Structure 1
């Protein structure tokens, strides 16, 4: 399986974190923690558009690309963190399919793994591709609005921003090769933000060690070492946690791509794909380099994709991911 192309839309309007104090109910000290400790500076906001507009910005790029035949897109997987992110009876995906000539594609959502749903979509795409023709594609779509303070703030951790991304996945041809996929879900933290203080403390204690453990597991399952990983392409939760991950892995912090954390904030499921696009546009990798897409979804799911960068892919079908599809561990729902 290959990631063949990435498109993104980052709204131009910038909102400094300090200007969100009243909206998010933050005092001066809490804002300073977000800025000085967690390294958050600003987020983006699409002031004049709704969810359809945000997603439409990337779909227009996809269907307008000269090398993409819209009829080759057989599935659209929309990944979002907020379970109900548009009001009933609106059917946003169905309307977008009509506007951009994708009525033939089967569209559905993934949301159960929250912000990790974007990488979980790679698992799903891998199971669907063998049923398609060799030149068919699956489109992974991400992006959502911060329509309420409840969905824009993870207390003492991060602030959510608005952006969207589209990822074209195929079984052959050009693009980065998916070497391995590893995801671990620990269900005892399913309501970490609304459960008991003890659950929150336990989650904070295990977050960095378990994330490091999943990264190491993913790399080892792919038959590699961390020394062979050129970049870790992460979600934009904050800078402080990625500094701790770098220390926990004895991995160079400068090779964790965190440039967008201060620029756009944490954009739900879109972060790893937007960051990967930035790395490729800046030509920071050479063909053959290995890299990781890494994200975490509250609930909690740790997800890692081991990738190999290639400007051109193989001519034949690719079945090399299957042996890594089975999650290493699935947590059992515990006390909440």
Structure 2
């Protein structure tokens, strides 16, 4: 069965405090208080490093995790639609790391949820491939200060991660990947005020719907789930979701929200790396990974440790 054999992350050492961001963007005291209440304290800042730089740095220490001729594909997922690295980022990385023969493409269709969409595509390819592994890359950088905030929702971090999928792994097996798209709010960049308010109000309802979809498909119940690993949007979202579904707060991993911020497609892997290196899960435990993309894209992946 296909599973995740490795997760590695790049976490910039520099941090920007909530107060610094508030001052730089001239946020109101009300906005500052709301973000602080939601558990956000600081974000990671990559300084002069680009997405290419972060991925290059990450890949330099990871070449031994796969054989190049055993890679079916490389998929680069990102939320920001364009950046100064340009569309040749993958070509440059492949050239430097001698991966020229591996098919590679980008996914950004579901914004922050593009990371799980990339894994779904890679799993589909692997299930029809003679090769055994696929490489998922994610990287995010706020090239403009104004990209740092999603109004009243979160503050954005920089960072990068990679995920290796393997057809023959015996742990962290992928049991299901489910998606739900709210067609009323698919316009992520041009939502009017009324639509954006609906997105804020319906956020946790979409999460609830996609989780229920996955549980139904796999004939599982919430009682079977040991842990939920979400992305770091804010604590309020996961508190509302947990309360509405009867999930105890200790079953939802939110420990990184304050320290790392919301790194778009990356923080799901930041959180998973920390969880899998800890003793929070034992062999055989079921757990969810959840990510939501601005514009009403809800995704979850059910895994078995």
Interval of TM-score (by shorter of Structure 1 and Structure 2): over 0.9
Deviation per residue, 1:126-156 (Å, 9 max, x gap): 221133225x211010012111133221001
Cα deviation, residue 82, structure 1: 0.7
Q: Is residue 274 from structure 1 mapped to residue 275 from structure 2 by the alignment? A: no
Is 1:255 the counterpart of 2:251 in the alignment? yes
Give the match for residue 25 of structure 1: 26
Aligned to 1:268, the other structure's residue is in SS state coil
Residues 237-273 of structure 1: CA deviation (Å, up to 9, x unaligned): 0111111111011001111111111111000111222
Of 98, 101, 104, the residue aligned with 1:101 is 98
C-alpha distance in structure 1 between counterparts of 2:170 and 2:83, whole Å: 34
Q: TM-score, normalised to structure 2's length? A: 0.95
1:172 matches 2:173: no
Provide the secondary structure at the position in 2 that maps to 1:115.
helix
Aligned to 1:319: none
| 1:50-89 equivalent positions in 2, closer than 5 A | 50-63=50-63, 65=64, 67-86=65-84, 88=86
Pick the aligned partner of 1:128 from 125, 130, 146.
Answer: 125
- How far 1:193 moved relative to its partner? 5.5
* Contact persistence 1:54–1:144 (CA under 8 A): no
SS in 2 for 1:55: helix
Helix, strand or coil for the counterpart of 2:126? helix
Question: Which sections of structure 1, spanning at least 5 residues, go unmatched?
Answer: 310-336
In 1, distance between residues paired with 2:57 and 2:239?
Answer: 33
Measured in 2, the distance between the counterparts of 1:127 and 1:220 equals 21
Farther off after superposition, 247-256 or 191-200 = 191-200
Q: Distance in 1 between matches of 2:153 and 2:286?
A: 29
User: Runs (4+) of structure 1 moved beyond 3 Å?
Assistant: none
1:239 aligns with 2:235: yes
Cα deviation for residue 218 of structure 1 reads: 1.1
Matched residue pairs, number?
Answer: 304
CA pair 219-5 structure 1, distance change in 2 beyond 3 A: same
Deviations 1:30-64 (A, max 9, x none): 1121112x11000011113122111112212321x
Cα RMSD (Å) of the superposition? 1.6
Whether the aligned pair in 2 keeps the contact of 1:7 and 1:61 (CA below 8 Å) is no
